[in-house]
Amino acid sequence: MSFLSNIFNKNKGTDIDMSVPYTNPIKIEFHSHLIHGVDDGSQAIEHTLDILKVYADMGYEKVITTPHIMSDYYKNGPENILPKVEEIRKGLDERNIQIKFEAAAEYMVDEGLEHKINNNEPLLTFGGDKKYILIELPFMTEPRNFKKVTFDLFMAGYKPVLAHPERYLYYNQNKEKDFEEMVDQGILMQANILSMVGYYSKQVEKAVEYLIDNKMINFIGSDVHHIKHAEIIRRDAFKTKLYRKACNLDLLNNTL
Ligand SMILES: [Fe+2]
């Protein structure tokens, strides 16, 4: 590393030495769309298996996939998700891909989720007894029932994990207050690797940098929908300073 880039790194307040070879410290990945044909992710089991091979090559030992559940578009549930998990596990065995495979879900905060909580319907969670539940918000505006739903989830014994907070740009104006409120409320935060490598936009990259610098991230996830996403992560993540910085946080991924 050159003298100038050393100074630059110091000014950025980071102690990541990019010249050191890197092994992925994250062994468990838990945000992706790999149940074929149930949402906007993988549409065929062959694609799912190809993507899982990329995860295995990157050093992941377990993938917990999280298909969308939305009352408008994706009316999924344990009944159509879990049988496909079995099918995919068989495919992994046949192709001798060494990776554990499980499923939870990514729930949109909508009327449907509120209804399920109020009716004590079983929700797809991860982390065993910890009952983590991955939730997402619309990209245009915060849903009016966000606070109520998270409160109800806590009351019902779940631990909400907010998917990619950096991608909701309506929090950008007032992120110190908005994100701090969520963290204070006990909501766990999951940042996308694709945000760190600049895949979505500069604004999203800045937002995830803010969350990482302020140690507000509890999990990192890939949010892979297709093989291109997985290939970008394989190509760029380990050489991206922001990703390495995120890996230095007290992450919960490997406890899943
Ligand atoms: Fe997702």
The pLDDT of residue 175: 84
31: CA distance to ligand 1 center in Å? 6
Task: Categorize the per-residue pLDDT at 64 as very low, low, confident or very high, splitting at 50, 70 and 90.
Answer: very high
pLDDT of the residue at 15: 65
Least confident of 11-20, 76-85, 137-146: 11-20
Separation of CA 11 and ligand 1 centre (Å): 34
Distance 13 CA to ligand 1 centre (A): 31
Please give the angle made by the CA atoms of 73, 219 and 221, to the nearest 5 degrees: 50
Q: In this model, does residue 211 exceed pLDDT 60?
A: yes
CA-wise closest residue to 170 among 160, 180, 179: 179
CATH class of 27-250: alpha beta
Distance 66 CA to ligand 1 centre (A): 7
CA of 181 to the centre of ligand 1 (A): 23
Which pLDDT value is given to residue 19? 67
Helix (H, G, I), strand (E, B) or coil at 182: helix
- C-alpha 86 – ligand 1 centre gap (Å): 21
pTM for this prediction: 0.90
**Residue 126 carries which DSSP code?**
B
Position 250 pLDDT exceeds 90: yes
Q: Is the dihedral of CA 166, 170, 173, 177 positive or negative?
A: negative
Residue 7 CA, ligand 1 centroid: distance in Å: 37
Tell which phi-psi region holds residue 9, choosing left (phi > 0), alpha (psi between -120 and 50) or beta: alpha
Q: CB burial class (10 A; 0-12, 13-18, 19+) of residue 249?
A: middle
